[in-house]
Amino acid sequence: MNIRLGKRFWIGATAIIVVFTAFVVVRNLVHAVKIRRQISQLDREKRAFEHRIAQDSALLERLRYDDYLEEYAREHYRMQRRDEHVYLIEEN
């Protein structure tokens, strides 16, 4: 018995393979774009954290000196000595 597949079958099979391949490629491209966006966002966060670390390291270095430590405590934590009166003037 001769089984002969028609021309329509091969066209249909080829179309299905092409559509499936296109679907997989587009899906992978979308995934790659999302990953690149995440990498870009994480790089921006990394630079921000590195900048913050540099600022904090500089502050720690300056806080090693007692004069600046006292000034910093007065400005940021409103500390004062026992026999001292402090008047705060805040600017808007």
- Residues 23-78: pLDDT tens digits? 999 999 999 999 999 999 999 999 999 999 999 999 999 888 888 888 888 778 87
In this structure, the number of other CB atoms found within 10 A of the CB of residue 68 comes to: 13
Mean pLDDT of 12-33: 96
The domain limits of the chain are: 7-77
Q: Using CA atoms, how far apart are residues 15 and 12, in angstroms rounded to an integer?
A: 5
pTM exceeds 0.95: no
In this structure, the number of other CB atoms found within 10 A of the CB of residue 71 comes to: 13
